[in-house]
Structure 1
Amino acid sequence: MTLALPPADELGVAGRRMRCRIAGDGPPVVLLHGIGRTLEDFTAVHAALAGDHRVHAVDLPGHGGSAPLDDPHTLPALATAVAGFLDAAGVTGPAHLVGNSLGGAVAMRLAADAPERAASLVLVNSAGFGREVTAALRLLSVRPLARLLLRPHPAIARRTERAIFHDPAHVTEERIATALAAARQPHAARVMLELVRDLGTWRGVRPEWRAELLDAVAALDLPTLLVWGDRDLILPAAHLAHARTRLPKAQSHLFRDTGHMPQIERAAEFEALVRRFWSRSGAAGPV
Protein backbone atom coordinates (compact mmCIF):
# COMPACT_ATOMS: atom_id res chain seq x y z
CA MET A 1 0.00 0.00 0.00
CA THR A 2 1.53 3.32 -1.12
CA LEU A 3 0.82 6.01 1.46
CA ALA A 4 0.85 9.21 -0.55
CA LEU A 5 -1.82 11.67 -1.55
CA PRO A 6 -2.78 11.50 -5.23
CA PRO A 7 -1.29 14.20 -7.47
CA ALA A 8 -3.02 17.57 -7.34
CA ASP A 9 -2.33 21.27 -7.81
CA GLU A 10 -1.40 23.90 -5.23
CA LEU A 11 -2.20 27.57 -4.69
CA GLY A 12 -0.57 29.96 -2.26
CA VAL A 13 -3.20 31.58 -0.01
CA ALA A 14 -2.03 34.15 2.55
CA GLY A 15 1.42 32.60 2.42
CA ARG A 16 0.14 29.06 2.97
CA ARG A 17 -0.11 26.09 0.63
CA MET A 18 -3.60 24.90 -0.29
CA ARG A 19 -3.85 21.65 -2.22
CA CYS A 20 -6.53 21.81 -4.91
CA ARG A 21 -7.80 20.50 -8.21
CA ILE A 22 -9.21 22.99 -10.73
CA ALA A 23 -10.60 22.05 -14.15
CA GLY A 24 -13.17 23.02 -16.76
CA ASP A 25 -14.75 26.21 -18.03
CA GLY A 26 -18.11 27.72 -17.18
CA PRO A 27 -19.94 28.83 -14.05
CA PRO A 28 -17.75 28.29 -10.96
CA VAL A 29 -18.37 25.36 -8.61
CA VAL A 30 -16.62 24.82 -5.25
CA LEU A 31 -16.44 21.32 -3.69
CA LEU A 32 -15.79 21.12 0.06
CA HIS A 33 -15.05 17.84 1.88
CA GLY A 34 -15.70 16.73 5.46
CA ILE A 35 -13.64 16.64 8.65
CA GLY A 36 -10.44 14.65 8.36
CA ARG A 37 -11.07 14.08 4.65
CA THR A 38 -9.60 15.34 1.35
CA LEU A 39 -10.74 16.61 -2.04
CA GLU A 40 -10.60 13.00 -3.31
CA ASP A 41 -14.13 12.56 -1.90
CA PHE A 42 -15.36 14.53 -4.92
CA THR A 43 -13.16 13.01 -7.64
CA ALA A 44 -15.94 11.50 -9.77
CA VAL A 45 -18.30 14.47 -9.48
CA HIS A 46 -15.44 16.89 -10.16
CA ALA A 47 -14.65 15.18 -13.44
CA ALA A 48 -18.30 15.02 -14.49
CA LEU A 49 -19.11 18.66 -13.74
CA ALA A 50 -15.91 19.98 -15.31
CA GLY A 51 -17.39 19.36 -18.75
CA ASP A 52 -19.26 22.66 -18.55
CA HIS A 53 -18.28 24.28 -15.23
CA ARG A 54 -15.09 25.65 -13.72
CA VAL A 55 -14.80 23.21 -10.82
CA HIS A 56 -12.65 23.90 -7.76
CA ALA A 57 -11.99 21.18 -5.19
CA VAL A 58 -9.75 22.07 -2.27
CA ASP A 59 -8.27 20.46 0.81
CA LEU A 60 -9.42 22.56 3.76
CA PRO A 61 -6.63 24.05 5.92
CA GLY A 62 -4.80 21.36 7.85
CA HIS A 63 -6.41 18.60 5.81
CA GLY A 64 -4.71 16.45 3.17
CA GLY A 65 -1.97 18.45 1.52
CA SER A 66 -3.08 21.91 2.70
CA ALA A 67 -1.00 23.66 5.33
CA PRO A 68 -2.60 24.31 8.73
CA LEU A 69 -3.56 27.72 10.04
CA ASP A 70 -1.59 29.51 12.74
CA ASP A 71 -4.80 30.26 14.63
CA PRO A 72 -7.13 27.52 15.94
CA HIS A 73 -9.14 25.72 13.29
CA THR A 74 -12.77 26.79 13.66
CA LEU A 75 -15.72 26.94 11.29
CA PRO A 76 -15.35 30.70 10.63
CA ALA A 77 -11.60 30.27 10.11
CA LEU A 78 -12.15 27.55 7.50
CA ALA A 79 -14.75 29.68 5.68
CA THR A 80 -12.36 32.63 5.62
CA ALA A 81 -9.63 30.39 4.22
CA VAL A 82 -11.95 29.16 1.43
CA ALA A 83 -12.75 32.77 0.56
CA GLY A 84 -9.02 33.43 0.30
CA PHE A 85 -8.61 30.36 -1.89
CA LEU A 86 -11.34 31.64 -4.25
CA ASP A 87 -9.57 34.98 -4.51
CA ALA A 88 -6.30 33.22 -5.33
CA ALA A 89 -8.11 31.09 -7.93
CA GLY A 90 -9.59 34.18 -9.59
CA VAL A 91 -13.21 33.47 -8.62
CA THR A 92 -14.62 36.95 -8.22
CA GLY A 93 -18.35 36.30 -8.68
CA PRO A 94 -20.83 33.96 -7.00
CA ALA A 95 -20.09 30.23 -7.13
CA HIS A 96 -22.14 27.10 -6.57
CA LEU A 97 -21.02 25.86 -3.14
CA VAL A 98 -21.22 22.08 -2.67
CA GLY A 99 -20.30 20.74 0.76
CA ASN A 100 -20.30 17.29 2.31
CA SER A 101 -20.47 16.84 6.12
CA LEU A 102 -18.23 19.53 7.68
CA GLY A 103 -17.87 20.96 4.16
CA GLY A 104 -21.60 21.71 4.16
CA ALA A 105 -21.25 23.77 7.32
CA VAL A 106 -18.23 25.56 5.82
CA ALA A 107 -20.27 26.34 2.70
CA MET A 108 -23.12 27.73 4.83
CA ARG A 109 -20.70 29.82 6.91
CA LEU A 110 -19.09 31.23 3.77
CA ALA A 111 -22.49 32.08 2.27
CA ALA A 112 -23.64 33.74 5.50
CA ASP A 113 -20.44 35.75 5.90
CA ALA A 114 -20.08 36.71 2.22
CA PRO A 115 -23.42 36.30 0.39
CA GLU A 116 -21.95 37.74 -2.79
CA ARG A 117 -19.80 34.60 -3.13
CA ALA A 118 -22.71 32.13 -3.21
CA ALA A 119 -24.89 31.36 -6.24
CA SER A 120 -26.44 28.31 -4.55
CA LEU A 121 -25.86 25.75 -1.81
CA VAL A 122 -25.79 21.97 -2.19
CA LEU A 123 -25.57 20.48 1.30
CA VAL A 124 -24.69 16.78 1.26
CA ASN A 125 -25.19 14.92 4.58
CA SER A 126 -24.20 18.26 6.05
CA ALA A 127 -23.16 19.11 9.57
CA GLY A 128 -25.27 21.75 11.29
CA PHE A 129 -28.75 20.21 11.38
CA GLY A 130 -28.73 18.11 14.52
CA ARG A 131 -26.90 17.11 17.70
CA GLU A 132 -26.47 13.43 16.85
CA VAL A 133 -23.10 12.41 15.43
CA THR A 134 -21.11 9.20 15.33
CA ALA A 135 -19.62 8.13 18.64
CA ALA A 136 -16.15 8.12 17.10
CA LEU A 137 -16.25 11.93 16.77
CA ARG A 138 -17.86 12.46 20.18
CA LEU A 139 -15.13 10.42 21.86
CA LEU A 140 -12.47 12.71 20.36
CA SER A 141 -13.61 15.39 22.81
CA VAL A 142 -12.45 13.11 25.66
CA ARG A 143 -8.74 13.86 26.00
CA PRO A 144 -7.46 10.45 27.19
CA LEU A 145 -9.08 8.78 24.18
CA ALA A 146 -8.37 11.32 21.48
CA ARG A 147 -4.72 10.53 20.74
CA LEU A 148 -5.42 6.80 20.73
CA LEU A 149 -8.29 7.17 18.25
CA LEU A 150 -6.32 9.49 15.99
CA ARG A 151 -3.39 7.14 15.45
CA PRO A 152 -2.75 6.70 11.71
CA HIS A 153 -3.24 2.94 11.79
CA PRO A 154 -4.53 0.82 8.86
CA ALA A 155 -7.19 -0.87 11.00
CA ILE A 156 -8.56 2.47 12.20
CA ALA A 157 -8.58 3.85 8.65
CA ARG A 158 -10.38 0.77 7.35
CA ARG A 159 -12.99 0.95 10.11
CA THR A 160 -13.59 4.65 9.41
CA GLU A 161 -14.04 4.05 5.68
CA ARG A 162 -16.40 1.18 6.42
CA ALA A 163 -18.59 3.49 8.54
CA ILE A 164 -18.80 6.05 5.74
CA PHE A 165 -20.22 3.78 3.04
CA HIS A 166 -23.28 1.55 3.04
CA ASP A 167 -21.84 -0.53 0.21
CA PRO A 168 -18.51 -2.05 1.35
CA ALA A 169 -17.34 -2.21 -2.26
CA HIS A 170 -16.41 1.47 -1.88
CA VAL A 171 -13.97 0.67 0.92
CA THR A 172 -11.03 0.29 -1.44
CA GLU A 173 -7.32 -0.02 -0.69
CA GLU A 174 -6.83 3.24 -2.56
CA ARG A 175 -9.23 5.10 -0.25
CA ILE A 176 -7.66 3.58 2.84
CA ALA A 177 -4.19 4.60 1.61
CA THR A 178 -5.36 8.17 0.99
CA ALA A 179 -6.92 8.34 4.46
CA LEU A 180 -3.69 7.09 6.04
CA ALA A 181 -1.58 9.55 4.05
CA ALA A 182 -3.77 12.41 5.26
CA ALA A 183 -3.74 11.17 8.87
CA ARG A 184 0.07 10.96 8.86
CA GLN A 185 0.54 14.67 8.24
CA PRO A 186 2.30 16.07 11.33
CA HIS A 187 -0.49 18.53 12.11
CA ALA A 188 -3.47 16.26 11.29
CA ALA A 189 -4.34 15.19 14.85
CA ARG A 190 -4.10 18.74 16.21
CA VAL A 191 -6.37 20.13 13.49
CA MET A 192 -8.91 17.36 14.02
CA LEU A 193 -9.03 17.96 17.77
CA GLU A 194 -9.41 21.72 17.39
CA LEU A 195 -12.37 21.29 15.06
CA VAL A 196 -14.07 18.57 17.09
CA ARG A 197 -13.82 20.60 20.29
CA ASP A 198 -14.95 23.80 18.60
CA LEU A 199 -18.03 22.17 17.08
CA GLY A 200 -19.09 19.62 19.69
CA THR A 201 -18.70 17.82 23.00
CA TRP A 202 -18.98 14.18 24.07
CA ARG A 203 -22.76 14.75 24.04
CA GLY A 204 -22.80 15.69 20.36
CA VAL A 205 -22.77 18.75 18.09
CA ARG A 206 -23.10 22.04 19.96
CA PRO A 207 -26.49 23.76 19.45
CA GLU A 208 -25.25 27.37 19.68
CA TRP A 209 -23.33 27.59 16.44
CA ARG A 210 -25.95 25.52 14.60
CA ALA A 211 -28.83 27.82 15.57
CA GLU A 212 -26.98 31.00 14.64
CA LEU A 213 -25.73 29.62 11.33
CA LEU A 214 -29.10 28.24 10.21
CA ASP A 215 -30.83 31.51 11.05
CA ALA A 216 -28.28 33.35 8.92
CA VAL A 217 -28.61 30.93 5.98
CA ALA A 218 -32.43 30.99 6.09
CA ALA A 219 -32.34 34.79 5.88
CA LEU A 220 -30.33 34.64 2.63
CA ASP A 221 -33.17 33.09 0.58
CA LEU A 222 -30.48 31.30 -1.45
CA PRO A 223 -31.31 28.39 -3.78
CA THR A 224 -30.51 25.35 -1.64
CA LEU A 225 -30.54 21.60 -2.20
CA LEU A 226 -30.44 19.21 0.77
CA VAL A 227 -29.13 15.71 0.00
CA TRP A 228 -28.82 12.74 2.35
CA GLY A 229 -28.16 9.02 2.38
CA ASP A 230 -30.66 7.03 4.40
CA ARG A 231 -27.99 4.70 5.86
CA ASP A 232 -25.67 7.43 7.13
CA LEU A 233 -23.83 6.26 10.27
CA ILE A 234 -22.01 9.58 10.77
CA LEU A 235 -24.84 12.14 10.67
CA PRO A 236 -28.17 10.29 10.70
CA ALA A 237 -30.77 10.84 8.00
CA ALA A 238 -33.17 12.10 10.68
CA HIS A 239 -31.28 15.39 10.37
CA LEU A 240 -32.85 15.86 6.95
CA ALA A 241 -36.28 16.39 8.51
CA HIS A 242 -34.89 19.15 10.74
CA ALA A 243 -33.07 20.65 7.76
CA ARG A 244 -36.35 20.85 5.85
CA THR A 245 -37.93 22.63 8.82
CA ARG A 246 -35.14 25.17 9.20
CA LEU A 247 -34.78 25.78 5.44
CA PRO A 248 -38.38 25.31 4.23
CA LYS A 249 -37.72 26.73 0.75
CA ALA A 250 -34.93 24.25 0.05
CA GLN A 251 -35.30 21.31 -2.30
CA SER A 252 -34.33 17.94 -0.86
CA HIS A 253 -33.56 14.37 -1.85
CA LEU A 254 -32.98 11.18 0.15
CA PHE A 255 -30.90 8.45 -1.49
CA ARG A 256 -31.89 4.91 -0.52
CA ASP A 257 -29.30 2.36 0.61
CA THR A 258 -26.65 5.08 0.73
CA GLY A 259 -24.24 6.16 3.45
CA HIS A 260 -22.48 9.40 4.34
CA MET A 261 -21.20 10.21 0.84
CA PRO A 262 -23.89 10.06 -1.86
CA GLN A 263 -21.51 11.89 -4.20
CA ILE A 264 -19.46 8.66 -4.27
CA GLU A 265 -22.02 5.89 -3.77
CA ARG A 266 -24.51 7.48 -6.17
CA ALA A 267 -22.14 9.55 -8.30
CA ALA A 268 -24.10 9.59 -11.58
CA GLU A 269 -27.45 10.11 -9.88
CA PHE A 270 -25.94 12.79 -7.66
CA GLU A 271 -24.55 14.66 -10.65
CA ALA A 272 -27.92 14.53 -12.45
CA LEU A 273 -29.72 15.68 -9.30
CA VAL A 274 -27.43 18.67 -8.86
CA ARG A 275 -27.70 19.66 -12.51
CA ARG A 276 -31.51 19.55 -12.36
CA PHE A 277 -31.45 21.66 -9.22
CA TRP A 278 -29.23 24.29 -10.78
CA SER A 279 -31.36 24.38 -13.91
CA ARG A 280 -34.74 24.55 -12.15
CA SER A 281 -33.60 27.06 -9.54
CA GLY A 282 -32.43 29.46 -12.22
CA ALA A 283 -28.97 29.47 -10.64
CA ALA A 284 -27.20 27.60 -13.43
CA GLY A 285 -25.36 28.76 -16.45
CA PRO A 286 -25.69 26.75 -19.68
CA VAL A 287 -26.02 23.02 -19.03
Structure 2
Amino acid sequence: MSTSTAFPSAAPTATAEVGGLRMRYRATGDGDPVLLLHGIGRSLEDWSEQHDRLSAEYRVISLDLPGFGHSDRLPGPSTLTGLASALPGFLDAVGASGPVHAVGNSLGGAVAMRLAADRPERVRSLLLANSAGFGQEVTIALRVLAIRPLGGLLLRPSRTGAARTTRAIFHDRSFATPERIELALALAGRPAHNRTLLEVARDLGGFRGVSEPWRTALLAELAGLDLPTLVVWGDRDLILPAAHLDAARAALPRAESHLFTDTGHMPQIERADAFAALASAFFARDRGTS
Protein backbone atom coordinates (compact mmCIF):
# COMPACT_ATOMS: atom_id res chain seq x y z
CA MET A 1 0.00 0.00 0.00
CA SER A 2 1.20 3.52 -0.73
CA THR A 3 0.02 7.00 0.16
CA SER A 4 -1.51 9.29 -2.45
CA THR A 5 -2.94 12.78 -2.77
CA ALA A 6 -4.27 12.54 -6.31
CA PHE A 7 -7.07 15.09 -5.95
CA PRO A 8 -7.78 18.19 -3.86
CA SER A 9 -8.48 16.62 -0.47
CA ALA A 10 -8.12 17.60 3.15
CA ALA A 11 -7.07 14.08 4.14
CA PRO A 12 -4.38 11.65 2.96
CA THR A 13 -5.42 8.52 1.13
CA ALA A 14 -3.73 5.20 0.39
CA THR A 15 -3.67 2.66 -2.43
CA ALA A 16 -4.46 -1.04 -2.13
CA GLU A 17 -3.50 -3.66 -4.72
CA VAL A 18 -6.49 -5.86 -5.48
CA GLY A 19 -6.11 -8.53 -8.14
CA GLY A 20 -3.66 -6.38 -10.04
CA LEU A 21 -5.80 -3.24 -9.71
CA ARG A 22 -4.79 -0.20 -7.71
CA MET A 23 -7.70 1.06 -5.60
CA ARG A 24 -7.55 4.39 -3.78
CA TYR A 25 -9.06 4.44 -0.30
CA ARG A 26 -9.14 6.16 3.05
CA ALA A 27 -9.38 4.38 6.42
CA THR A 28 -9.79 6.05 9.82
CA GLY A 29 -10.69 4.95 13.34
CA ASP A 30 -11.03 1.59 15.03
CA GLY A 31 -13.93 -0.72 15.76
CA ASP A 32 -16.52 -2.48 13.63
CA PRO A 33 -15.84 -1.77 9.93
CA VAL A 34 -18.06 0.66 8.02
CA LEU A 35 -17.70 0.70 4.22
CA LEU A 36 -18.70 3.95 2.48
CA LEU A 37 -19.55 3.83 -1.26
CA HIS A 38 -19.89 6.96 -3.42
CA GLY A 39 -22.22 7.72 -6.32
CA ILE A 40 -21.75 7.72 -10.08
CA GLY A 41 -19.04 10.05 -11.29
CA ARG A 42 -18.00 10.80 -7.72
CA SER A 43 -15.14 9.86 -5.36
CA LEU A 44 -14.37 9.01 -1.75
CA GLU A 45 -14.24 12.72 -0.87
CA ASP A 46 -18.05 12.61 -0.62
CA TRP A 47 -17.57 10.82 2.71
CA SER A 48 -15.09 13.16 4.42
CA GLU A 49 -17.71 14.49 6.85
CA GLN A 50 -18.67 10.98 7.91
CA HIS A 51 -15.05 9.97 8.48
CA ASP A 52 -14.84 12.94 10.84
CA ARG A 53 -17.94 11.89 12.76
CA LEU A 54 -17.97 8.08 12.76
CA SER A 55 -14.28 7.31 13.30
CA ALA A 56 -14.53 7.71 17.07
CA GLU A 57 -16.59 4.49 17.21
CA TYR A 58 -15.88 2.60 13.98
CA ARG A 59 -13.20 1.75 11.48
CA VAL A 60 -14.45 3.85 8.57
CA ILE A 61 -13.32 2.89 5.06
CA SER A 62 -14.16 4.78 1.88
CA LEU A 63 -12.80 4.12 -1.60
CA ASP A 64 -12.90 5.26 -5.18
CA LEU A 65 -14.90 2.51 -6.86
CA PRO A 66 -13.02 0.83 -9.74
CA GLY A 67 -12.58 3.23 -12.65
CA PHE A 68 -13.78 6.24 -10.69
CA GLY A 69 -11.57 8.83 -9.08
CA HIS A 70 -8.04 7.52 -8.90
CA SER A 71 -8.80 3.77 -8.85
CA ASP A 72 -7.91 1.58 -11.82
CA ARG A 73 -10.63 0.39 -14.16
CA LEU A 74 -11.87 -3.17 -14.11
CA PRO A 75 -10.94 -5.29 -17.12
CA GLY A 76 -13.76 -5.09 -19.64
CA PRO A 77 -16.84 -2.85 -19.48
CA SER A 78 -17.79 -1.39 -16.11
CA THR A 79 -21.07 -2.73 -14.71
CA LEU A 80 -22.92 -2.73 -11.40
CA THR A 81 -22.07 -6.39 -10.87
CA GLY A 82 -18.42 -5.78 -11.71
CA LEU A 83 -18.11 -2.91 -9.24
CA ALA A 84 -19.64 -5.00 -6.45
CA SER A 85 -17.50 -8.03 -7.28
CA ALA A 86 -14.32 -6.02 -6.63
CA LEU A 87 -15.28 -5.22 -3.04
CA PRO A 88 -14.60 -8.53 -1.22
CA GLY A 89 -11.01 -8.53 -2.47
CA PHE A 90 -10.63 -4.89 -1.56
CA LEU A 91 -11.94 -5.49 1.95
CA ASP A 92 -9.55 -8.39 2.40
CA ALA A 93 -6.67 -6.19 1.22
CA VAL A 94 -7.41 -3.53 3.83
CA GLY A 95 -7.90 -6.02 6.64
CA ALA A 96 -11.71 -6.02 6.85
CA SER A 97 -12.33 -9.71 6.33
CA GLY A 98 -15.48 -9.88 8.45
CA PRO A 99 -18.92 -8.47 7.62
CA VAL A 100 -19.17 -4.69 7.24
CA HIS A 101 -21.83 -2.07 7.69
CA ALA A 102 -22.22 -1.09 4.01
CA VAL A 103 -23.27 2.52 3.41
CA GLY A 104 -23.98 3.69 -0.14
CA ASN A 105 -25.06 6.97 -1.70
CA SER A 106 -26.77 6.97 -5.13
CA LEU A 107 -24.93 4.41 -7.31
CA GLY A 108 -23.08 3.37 -4.16
CA GLY A 109 -26.38 2.22 -2.67
CA ALA A 110 -27.00 -0.08 -5.62
CA VAL A 111 -23.43 -1.39 -5.36
CA ALA A 112 -23.97 -2.08 -1.64
CA MET A 113 -27.21 -3.94 -2.41
CA ARG A 114 -25.50 -5.98 -5.13
CA LEU A 115 -22.68 -6.87 -2.72
CA ALA A 116 -25.21 -7.95 -0.09
CA ALA A 117 -27.13 -10.09 -2.56
CA ASP A 118 -24.02 -11.73 -4.01
CA ARG A 119 -21.97 -12.07 -0.83
CA PRO A 120 -24.35 -11.80 2.15
CA GLU A 121 -21.66 -13.06 4.52
CA ARG A 122 -19.68 -9.85 3.85
CA VAL A 123 -22.47 -7.43 4.80
CA ARG A 124 -23.69 -6.88 8.35
CA SER A 125 -26.18 -4.11 7.59
CA LEU A 126 -27.14 -1.73 4.78
CA LEU A 127 -27.59 2.04 4.98
CA LEU A 128 -28.84 3.36 1.63
CA ALA A 129 -28.76 7.13 1.08
CA ASN A 130 -30.71 8.46 -1.92
CA SER A 131 -29.90 5.13 -3.52
CA ALA A 132 -30.25 4.08 -7.13
CA GLY A 133 -32.45 1.03 -7.64
CA PHE A 134 -35.88 2.11 -6.40
CA GLY A 135 -37.39 3.81 -9.44
CA GLN A 136 -37.08 4.75 -13.10
CA GLU A 137 -36.88 8.53 -12.67
CA VAL A 138 -33.44 10.10 -12.76
CA THR A 139 -32.08 13.50 -13.73
CA ILE A 140 -31.95 14.27 -17.46
CA ALA A 141 -28.21 14.88 -17.10
CA LEU A 142 -27.67 11.14 -16.56
CA ARG A 143 -30.27 9.98 -19.07
CA VAL A 144 -28.64 11.80 -21.98
CA LEU A 145 -25.42 9.88 -21.37
CA ALA A 146 -27.11 6.97 -23.13
CA ILE A 147 -27.25 8.96 -26.38
CA ARG A 148 -24.22 8.33 -28.56
CA PRO A 149 -22.07 10.34 -29.14
CA LEU A 150 -23.76 13.09 -27.13
CA GLY A 151 -22.98 11.44 -23.81
CA GLY A 152 -19.25 11.55 -24.40
CA LEU A 153 -19.36 15.15 -25.57
CA LEU A 154 -21.20 16.22 -22.44
CA LEU A 155 -18.43 14.83 -20.26
CA ARG A 156 -15.76 17.13 -21.66
CA PRO A 157 -14.28 18.89 -18.63
CA SER A 158 -15.18 22.53 -18.03
CA ARG A 159 -15.37 24.64 -14.91
CA THR A 160 -18.92 25.69 -15.87
CA GLY A 161 -20.01 22.08 -16.11
CA ALA A 162 -18.28 21.17 -12.86
CA ALA A 163 -20.03 24.04 -11.08
CA ARG A 164 -23.41 23.10 -12.52
CA THR A 165 -23.20 19.42 -11.54
CA THR A 166 -21.87 20.25 -8.08
CA ARG A 167 -24.71 22.69 -7.38
CA ALA A 168 -27.30 20.17 -8.57
CA ILE A 169 -26.51 17.68 -5.81
CA PHE A 170 -27.21 20.13 -2.97
CA HIS A 171 -30.37 21.91 -1.90
CA ASP A 172 -28.29 24.46 0.01
CA ARG A 173 -25.98 25.75 -2.72
CA SER A 174 -23.48 27.04 -0.17
CA PHE A 175 -22.22 23.45 -0.05
CA ALA A 176 -21.09 23.80 -3.67
CA THR A 177 -17.81 25.30 -2.49
CA PRO A 178 -14.92 26.25 -4.79
CA GLU A 179 -13.03 23.24 -3.42
CA ARG A 180 -15.84 20.85 -4.40
CA ILE A 181 -16.08 22.41 -7.84
CA GLU A 182 -12.31 22.05 -8.32
CA LEU A 183 -12.56 18.40 -7.29
CA ALA A 184 -15.37 17.81 -9.80
CA LEU A 185 -13.26 19.44 -12.49
CA ALA A 186 -10.27 17.25 -11.60
CA LEU A 187 -12.42 14.12 -11.80
CA ALA A 188 -13.85 15.19 -15.16
CA GLY A 189 -10.30 15.55 -16.48
CA ARG A 190 -9.59 11.84 -16.08
CA PRO A 191 -10.51 9.86 -19.24
CA ALA A 192 -10.77 6.56 -17.34
CA HIS A 193 -13.20 8.13 -14.88
CA ASN A 194 -15.42 9.44 -17.70
CA ARG A 195 -15.34 6.16 -19.59
CA THR A 196 -16.40 4.32 -16.43
CA LEU A 197 -19.18 6.83 -15.81
CA LEU A 198 -20.56 6.30 -19.32
CA GLU A 199 -20.38 2.52 -19.12
CA VAL A 200 -22.04 2.30 -15.72
CA ALA A 201 -24.78 4.77 -16.70
CA ARG A 202 -25.54 2.72 -19.81
CA ASP A 203 -25.46 -0.53 -17.83
CA LEU A 204 -28.09 0.81 -15.43
CA GLY A 205 -30.41 2.55 -17.86
CA GLY A 206 -30.95 4.68 -20.92
CA PHE A 207 -32.70 7.81 -22.08
CA ARG A 208 -35.99 6.62 -20.58
CA GLY A 209 -34.40 6.35 -17.15
CA VAL A 210 -33.16 3.61 -14.86
CA SER A 211 -33.94 0.17 -16.29
CA GLU A 212 -36.55 -1.96 -14.55
CA PRO A 213 -35.23 -5.56 -14.93
CA TRP A 214 -32.10 -5.21 -12.82
CA ARG A 215 -33.94 -3.19 -10.17
CA THR A 216 -36.72 -5.76 -9.79
CA ALA A 217 -34.33 -8.69 -9.61
CA LEU A 218 -31.98 -7.03 -7.12
CA LEU A 219 -34.75 -5.86 -4.79
CA ALA A 220 -36.31 -9.32 -4.80
CA GLU A 221 -32.96 -10.83 -3.81
CA LEU A 222 -32.47 -8.25 -1.10
CA ALA A 223 -35.98 -8.70 0.30
CA GLY A 224 -35.20 -12.38 0.77
CA LEU A 225 -32.29 -11.60 3.10
CA ASP A 226 -32.73 -11.03 6.81
CA LEU A 227 -30.47 -7.99 6.69
CA PRO A 228 -30.90 -4.85 8.83
CA THR A 229 -31.53 -2.01 6.38
CA LEU A 230 -32.02 1.73 6.74
CA VAL A 231 -33.06 3.82 3.73
CA VAL A 232 -32.74 7.62 3.95
CA TRP A 233 -33.49 10.38 1.44
CA GLY A 234 -33.32 14.13 1.00
CA ASP A 235 -36.71 15.63 0.17
CA ARG A 236 -35.22 18.10 -2.35
CA ASP A 237 -33.17 15.61 -4.35
CA LEU A 238 -32.87 16.72 -8.00
CA ILE A 239 -31.03 13.56 -9.09
CA LEU A 240 -33.22 10.73 -7.76
CA PRO A 241 -36.60 12.01 -6.51
CA ALA A 242 -37.66 11.55 -2.91
CA ALA A 243 -40.73 9.63 -4.11
CA HIS A 244 -38.34 6.69 -4.47
CA LEU A 245 -38.33 6.43 -0.68
CA ASP A 246 -41.94 5.24 -0.84
CA ALA A 247 -40.90 2.64 -3.41
CA ALA A 248 -38.11 1.52 -1.09
CA ARG A 249 -40.55 1.11 1.77
CA ALA A 250 -42.81 -1.00 -0.43
CA ALA A 251 -39.98 -3.16 -1.79
CA LEU A 252 -38.27 -3.61 1.58
CA PRO A 253 -41.09 -3.54 4.14
CA ARG A 254 -38.81 -4.55 7.02
CA ALA A 255 -36.40 -1.69 6.39
CA GLU A 256 -36.23 1.43 8.52
CA SER A 257 -36.50 4.78 6.74
CA HIS A 258 -35.93 8.48 7.26
CA LEU A 259 -36.64 11.60 5.18
CA PHE A 260 -34.36 14.64 5.61
CA THR A 261 -36.14 17.95 5.01
CA ASP A 262 -34.63 20.74 2.90
CA THR A 263 -31.91 18.35 1.75
CA GLY A 264 -30.63 17.33 -1.67
CA HIS A 265 -28.85 14.28 -3.06
CA MET A 266 -26.04 14.18 -0.48
CA PRO A 267 -27.51 14.02 3.04
CA GLN A 268 -24.20 12.66 4.34
CA ILE A 269 -22.73 16.09 3.56
CA GLU A 270 -25.67 18.46 3.79
CA ARG A 271 -26.97 16.93 7.05
CA ALA A 272 -23.69 15.50 8.26
CA ASP A 273 -24.40 15.56 12.02
CA ALA A 274 -27.91 14.12 11.72
CA PHE A 275 -26.75 11.51 9.20
CA ALA A 276 -23.95 10.35 11.48
CA ALA A 277 -26.28 10.19 14.46
CA LEU A 278 -28.78 8.08 12.51
CA ALA A 279 -26.00 5.81 11.27
CA SER A 280 -24.50 5.31 14.72
CA ALA A 281 -27.87 4.51 16.28
CA PHE A 282 -28.69 2.11 13.44
CA PHE A 283 -25.36 0.29 13.73
CA ALA A 284 -25.78 0.11 17.51
CA ARG A 285 -29.19 -1.55 17.13
CA ASP A 286 -27.52 -4.19 15.00
CA ARG A 287 -25.09 -4.82 17.88
CA GLY A 288 -28.05 -5.07 20.25
CA THR A 289 -26.61 -2.32 22.45
CA SER A 290 -29.35 0.31 22.25
Global fold match (TM > 0.5): yes
TM-score between the two structures when normalised by the length of structure 1? 0.96
Task: Please tell me whether the aligned partners of residues 27 and 285 of structure 1 are also in contact (alpha carbons under 8 angstroms).
Answer: no
- Cα deviation, 1:193-225, whole Å, max 9, x if unaligned, reads 110110001000000000000001110120000
- The 2-side partners of 1:196 and 1:285 are apart by 38
Q: Tell me the residue number matched to 1:205.
A: 210
Write the mapping of 1:185-264 to structure 2, written as runs, cut at 5 A.
185-264=190-269
Q: Which amino acid aligns with 1:260?
A: H
Q: 1:81 aligns with which of 70, 86, 94?
A: 86
2:115 equivalent to 1:110: yes
Task: Please tell me whether the aligned partners of residues 96 and 119 of structure 1 are also in contact (alpha carbons under 8 angstroms).
Answer: yes
Question: Percent identity between the aligned chains?
Answer: 60
Secondary structure of the equivalent of 1:140?
helix
2:189 equivalent to 1:184: yes
Secondary structure of the equivalent of 2:45?
helix
Q: Tell me the residue number matched to 1:143.
A: 148
Secondary structure of the equivalent of 1:9?
strand
Task: Please tell me whether the aligned partners of residues 268 and 275 of structure 2 are also in contact (alpha carbons under 8 angstroms).
Answer: yes
Number of aligned residue pairs: give it.
Answer: 283
2:278 equivalent to 1:284: no
Q: Tell me the residue number matched to 1:157.
A: 162
Displacement of 1:144: 2.8
Task: Please tell me whether the aligned partners of residues 152 and 198 of structure 2 are also in contact (alpha carbons under 8 angstroms).
Answer: no
- The 2-side partners of 1:72 and 1:157 are apart by 25
- The 1-side partners of 2:86 and 2:220 are apart by 22
Q: 2:131 aligns with which of 112, 126, 129?
A: 126
Displacement of 1:10: 0.9
Task: Please tell me whether the aligned partners of residues 125 and 260 of structure 1 are also in contact (alpha carbons under 8 angstroms).
Answer: yes
Q: Tell me the residue number matched to 1:169.
A: 174
Q: Is there any run of 5+ residues in structure 1 with no aligned partner, and where?
A: none
TM-score between the two structures when normalised by the length of structure 2? 0.95
Deviates more, 1:270-279 or 1:103-112: 270-279
Q: Which amino acid aligns with 1:148?
A: L
Displacement of 1:286: 6.9
Q: Tell me the residue number matched to 1:50.
A: 55
- The 2-side partners of 1:215 and 1:4 are apart by 38
Secondary structure of the equivalent of 1:143?
coil
- The 1-side partners of 2:80 and 2:8 are apart by 24
- The 1-side partners of 2:230 and 2:68 are apart by 26
Displacement of 1:279: 2.1
- The 2-side partners of 1:196 and 1:179 are apart by 17
Q: Which amino acid aligns with 2:243?
A: A
